Structures are given as C-alpha cells and as structure tokens.
C-alpha cells in the first residue's frame, strides 16, 4: 500500500522537461565557472604580479631616496668638518656663520653645531644649545672617532627650543670629528636631520591614485620599530614576513596577512646596501610598501563580476530555449505518465486497471509501456518476500539480544550478577527504599586468606572455592536480596526491605557462621573466614550510589584491619 501511495504522487519527481532545462543551466553554470577560474588564474594572477612589481618599485624608490638623503647629510657633515672656518675656529661667531649658512640652504637640518672635546657646544646655528653639555649624547660620543650616523630618536634637549609642529620632533644624527691643522682633534660637528624629510618623501612617492587605493609606505628600524607609516603604527613594534625578508637583505614582494587581520601585497627592500652609500655612514632601515589585496586586484574583480553577469544572461536565454524544445520532446512521455497514474489510483481503489496504450511516437516509450505491468507485479512479490524475511529476522534478533543481555549481566565464574548488573540494581534498590520508607544496606564481603588457597592448591581450586562461597551467600540471604561478585574474592549483597538499620548487622552475623564452615575442594578441605563491611542507606538520604559503595568498602577494610573474620558498620 505504501508503494501504491507513492506511485499516486509522481509530482514529487522532477519532470523530464525540468531535467533538460536544469541540465542546460548546469552546463552554462559550469562554463561560467570555468571562465571565472581562467580569469582568476590568469587575469588575477597577472594583476597581482603587476601590483607586486609596482609596490616593489616604490620600495626601491623610497629606499634610494632615503639612502641619498643620508649620504648627502654625511657629505655635508664631512664638508663642515673640513672647512677652515670650523677647523681653526677660535670664537663661536666665525663657526656659527658657516653653520647658519648650511642650515639656511637645508631647512631639514633642525640643528647644526660643533662641540669641543669637553662635550660643551662651542657654536651652533642660531646659537641654540651653545655652552650646553652634550657629552652624553650618542652623536657626540660616536662621532669622536669617525663620521657616524645615529638612528631615529626623539628630541631630548631641543624639544622645548624648536617651534611646535604638527608631528613631534624626531631626528637622525650625523657627526664627525673636527681636527686642527696640526692633526689634533678639538671637537665634534653634529647635525640633527628632522624626520619631516622622510614623511615628505613618502607623500611625494605615493600618487593620489595609489593613496586612494590604500597604498602606504613604512620605514622600519632594525629593532622592528616602525619609524614612518600610519599614525597608529608609528613607534610600535612590527612582525611580518616581509620585514624579516627585508632585514635579511632581500628585496621583492609578497602576499601576507598583517597584524590587523587584513591581507596585503607588500613590496620590501633595505637601505644601506652597497652602492650609493658605500664607504659612508649608513643606516639600515627596512622599507615596506603595502596595499590591501582587495584594492590591488579591484580591476580584476570588476572583470570577474562583468563576466559573471554576462554568463547569467546567456544562461537565462539558453534555459528558455531549452524549456521550449524539451516541452515538445516530452509530450509522448507526459501521455504515458498520465496512464500510469490512472493505473496506480485504480490499483489503490481495487478497480480494474486501465490498459497501457501502445505509444508509437518513439521506441523507448513503446518499450516502457509494455514492461510497466511486469515490473509492478515483480516488485509486489519482492516486497512481500522482504516483509516475511524482516519479521523472521526481528524475532531472531530479539531472542539473541536477550541471551546476550543475560551473558553481559552475569559473572562467568560464579553465575552471580557482575559489576555492571550491580551498578544497575543498586540505584533501583535505593529508589525503592526511598519510596517504601524502609532502609536498605550494602554488604561488602572479602575472603580472608584467599591468596594462600590459590598459591597452595592452584587457581582451579581457587575458582571452585569462589563458586562455593558465592552459593553460600545466596543460600544464607533472603530471596529479595541481591548477590553480586565485583572482582576477585570481593562480593556484594544488597539487603532490601529492612525494618531498621540494625537488621543489616543481624544479617551479617547470620551469614558469618556459614562462611566459616569448611569448603570441600577436589584436593583439600579449606577453612576460611570473611571480612564484612556494611553501609546502610536510610530513606530520605541524599547519598549517591558511589558514596554508598565507598562507605561499605571502607567498612570492609576496617574489618580487615580489626583482625579479619568480623563485621564492621560504616559511619
């Protein structure tokens, strides 16, 4: 009947015209996917390479510009140190005139001065810091030996003397020793180069179009501190793959995820390489030029979207054409399907089955109409046979399951309940105790000296002793009590329907004489005793299963420690 009901609802099945239309649409979708894959593989790959090359070139340009400015500053310091007005200066005014002239020609030199060997500023452009002690400044100490460059640092002495600017004052320093004509060093000339020149370089290199698409230039010191970049990142540590590559002396471009979680294309290089600055004081900075991958590949993504919409339009047109053609092709099948539906409804109602007419439109439909009756009859026979076999199988499974459950719940040696059965029986006993308002108890029994029997008479005799021990317990307790073997020589008895808590101890004393009777084995007669621990569960107690068993177990060990062959009540 279920099969006939299913046959009466063929609308749940897709129609042939639908399948043909879906097939055409799937073909168009597959073609579109292949085209998009090709665009993504070739177009996007080409766009990524072009973007990486552009960012790499910007990194090179920024690197070369930084190197040129550092080299120029080193050359200016060397020139000032070699001028006679500075080398042979006897009063600050003559030296100051030279320094003022240099500063006026290069405004990025925020401070220029000459300090004597004692570390006090002898002369300075504009008179700033004259007579100030700069002996502790790195540029003075390092510049006493040779021309040197001191990396990016904040203003210390000049911070309050220079005019306030939009960005805080930051400098790099150039210094060189000053020698008199007789070759004696009398001081050090130093230049504080304002970091504004680096900011201007970055702004000039990035065209408005690049800035609009999120391109940014970062200059990073050797300790991974960002010297130039987005405001939120300046003077903060950075850890990226491109930085590590640049610090290793490499140059190129990579695709990577930055700490902000976004994916960027990054061009990288390092200043201070052999070339323009060879032999001069140099500073090793990593130059990174990054751009969000989405912005760098925006044109390629636009092309993908355009191709997608074109493909969708073509797919819609082809689907309409396919639907019209499929409709004409499926008319004979529609006629045959209506007759089959009529037959299915007639079979359900018990009416005579209408004949399936011969369909001569094409051979496949004719073969299908002739074979349909035989297929339905064969299927009904198979269903009946399967139902009969299923009933027989369910009966067999139920019987086998009952056998297996019995085996799983019984101890193989003694035939008593095992630990699993005990853990199911004890909660039931505790619930009955609470419902009937009668105590129940758990007795833990452990044979005293059982190991000696095993060692002296062998394991087979030990197994026989355990079987007899279990049967004596069963014979001694009531029919309503439950006996189980936990493991080894440990047994448990669940005493139910006790009138009072003391009944459990009475039952234990009743059991003890039976257990002390000799055990008749095949090769010997053995006298043993048992240590019993009793834990009582009172109605209304919130004690759990594990706690009750633990108390009984502890009481049994108290009996062991008290001399064995005795009963101990749990507290």
What is the Rg, in whole angstroms, of the alpha carbon atoms belonging to the chain?
49
Helices (H), 330-362: 331-349
Helices (H), 415-496: 419-436, 450-457, 459-476
Measured CA angle at 150 (ends 108, 96), to 5 deg: 50
3-state helix, strand, coil in the chain (%, to 5): 55, 20, 25
Distance CA 158, CA 129 (A): 8
Residue 190: strand pairing partners? 113, 175
Distance CA 356, CA 367 (A): 11
Output DSSP code: residue 477: S
Where b means 16+ CB within 10 Å and e means fewer, 88-122 reads ebeebeebbebbbebbeebebbbbbbbbebebebb
- Do the strands 252-257 and 121-124 form a parallel or antiparallel pair, or are they unpaired? unpaired
- For residue 392, CA distances in Å to 212, 244, 366, 395, 398 come to 78, 73, 41, 5, 10
Q: Which residue has tokens 């930085």?
A: 243
| Residues whose CB is less than 8 angstroms from the CB of residue 141 and which lie 6 or more positions away in sequence, other chains included | 135
Question: End-to-end alpha-carbon separation of the chain, Å?
Answer: 67
Q: Which residue has tokens 């061009």?
A: 267
**Tally of residues, the chain:** 571
For 517, counting Cβ atoms within 10 Å of its Cβ (0-12 exposed, 13-18 middle, 19+ buried), the class is: exposed
Residue 533: strand pairing partners? 444, 568
Contact status, residue 348 vs residue 8, Cβ threshold 8 Å: yes
In 132-208, at which residue ranges do the beta strands (DSSP E only) sit?
Answer: 148-154, 170-179, 185-194
Contact status, residue 442 vs residue 492, Cβ threshold 8 Å: yes
Distance CA 1, CA 3 (A): 5
Please confirm, yes or no, whether 489 is among the known catalytic residues.
yes
Could you tell me how far CA 246 lies from the centroid of its own chain?
A: 30
Q: Spot the catalytic one: 67, 108, 481, 489.
A: 489
Contact status, residue 535 vs residue 555, Cβ threshold 8 Å: yes
Task: Tell me which residues are annotated as active site.
Answer: 489
């Amino acid at each position: 009947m279920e099969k006939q009901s299913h046959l009466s609802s063929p609308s749940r099945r897709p129609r042939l015209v639908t399948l043909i239309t879906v097939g055409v649409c799937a073909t168009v979708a597959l073609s579109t996917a292949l085209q998009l894959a090709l665009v993504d593989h070739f177009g996007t790959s080409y766009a990524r390479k072009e973007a990486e090359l552009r960012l790499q070139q910007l990194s090179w340009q920024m690197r070369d510009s930084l190197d040129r400015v550092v080299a120029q500053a080193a050359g200016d310091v060397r020139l000032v140190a070699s001028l006679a007005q500075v080398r042979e200066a006897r009063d600050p005014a003559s030296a100051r005139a030279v320094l003022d002239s240099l500063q006026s020609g290069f405004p990025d030199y925020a401070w220029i001065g000459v300090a004597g060997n004692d570390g006090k500023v002898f002369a300075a452009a504009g008179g700033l810091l004259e007579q100030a002690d700069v002996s502790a400044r790195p540029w003075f100490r390092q510049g006493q030996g040779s021309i040197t460059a001191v990396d990016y640092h904040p203003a210390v002495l000049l911070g309050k003397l220079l005019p306030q600017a939009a960005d805080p004052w930051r400098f790099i320093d150039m210094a060189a020793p000053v020698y008199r004509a007789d070759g004696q060093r009398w001081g050090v000339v130093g230049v504080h180069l304002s970091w504004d020149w680096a900011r201007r370089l970055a702004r000039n290199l990035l065209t408005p179009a690049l800035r609009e698409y999120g391109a940014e230039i970062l200059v990073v010191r050797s300790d991974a501190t960002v010297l130039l970049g987005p405001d939120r990142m300046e003077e903060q540590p950075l850890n990226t793959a491109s930085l590590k590559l640049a610090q290793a002396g490499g140059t190129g471009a990579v695709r990577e995820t930055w700490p902000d979680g976004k994916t960027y294309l990054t061009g990288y290089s390092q200043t201070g390489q052999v070339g323009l600055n060879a032999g001069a004081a140099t500073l090793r900075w990593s130059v990174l030029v990054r751009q969000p991958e989405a912005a760098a590949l925006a044109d390629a993504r636009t092309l993908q979207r355009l191709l997608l919409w074109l493909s969708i339009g073509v797919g819609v047109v082809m689907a309409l054409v396919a639907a019209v053609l499929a409709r004409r092709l499926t008319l004979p099948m529609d006629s045959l399907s209506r007759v089959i539906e009529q037959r299915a409804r007639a079979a359900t109602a018990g009416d005579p089955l209408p004949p399936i007419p011969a369909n001569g439109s094409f051979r496949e439909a004719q073969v299908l109409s002739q074979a349909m009756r035989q297929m339905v009859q064969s299927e009904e026979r198979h269903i009946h046979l399967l139902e009969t076999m299923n009933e027989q199988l369910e009966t067999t499974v139920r019987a086998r399951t009952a056998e297996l459950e019995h085996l799983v719940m019984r101890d193989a040696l003694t035939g008593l309940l095992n630990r699993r059965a005990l853990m199911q029986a004890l909660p039931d006993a505790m619930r009955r105790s609470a419902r009937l308002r009668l105590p129940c108890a758990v007795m833990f029994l452990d044979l005293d000296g059982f190991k000696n029997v095993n060692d002296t008479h062998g394991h087979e005799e030990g197994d026989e002793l355990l079987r007899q021990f279990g049967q004596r317990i069963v014979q001694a307790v009531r029919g309503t009590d439950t006996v189980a073997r936990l493991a080894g020589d440990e047994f448990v008895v669940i005493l139910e329907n006790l009138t009072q808590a003391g009944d459990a101890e009475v039952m234990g004393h009743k059991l003890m004489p039976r257990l002390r009777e000799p055990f008749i084995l095949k090769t010997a007669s053995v006298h043993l005793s048992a240590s019993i621990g009793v834990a009582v569960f009172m109605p209304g107690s919130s004690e759990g299963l594990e706690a009750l068993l633990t108390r009984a177990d502890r009481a049994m060990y108290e009996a062991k420690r008290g001399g064995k062959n005795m009963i101990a009540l749990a507290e």
